[in-house]
Amino acid sequence: MKRFLLLIAMLMVVASAARAVEPSERLANPALEARARVISSQLRCLVCQNESIDESGADLAHDIRMFVRERLTAGNTNAAVIQAVVDRYGAFVLLKPPVEPATYVLWYGPPALLTVGLLATLIWLKRRQSAPAETTPLSADETRRLDGLIRGNDA
Model pLDDT for residues 13-58, shown as the tens digit of each residue: 444 444 466 666 777 778 888 888 899 999 998 888 778 888 888 8
Contacts 24+ apart (CB under 8 A), 44-50: 44/92, 44/93, 44/94, 44/95, 46/89, 46/92, 46/93
The predicted structure's pLDDT at residue 98? 84
Q: How far is CA 101 from CA 41, 43, 107, in A?
A: 25, 21, 10
Residues 78-122: pLDDT tens digits?
999 999 999 998 888 888 888 888 888 888 999 999 999 999 999
For the entire predicted model, the pTM comes to 0.57
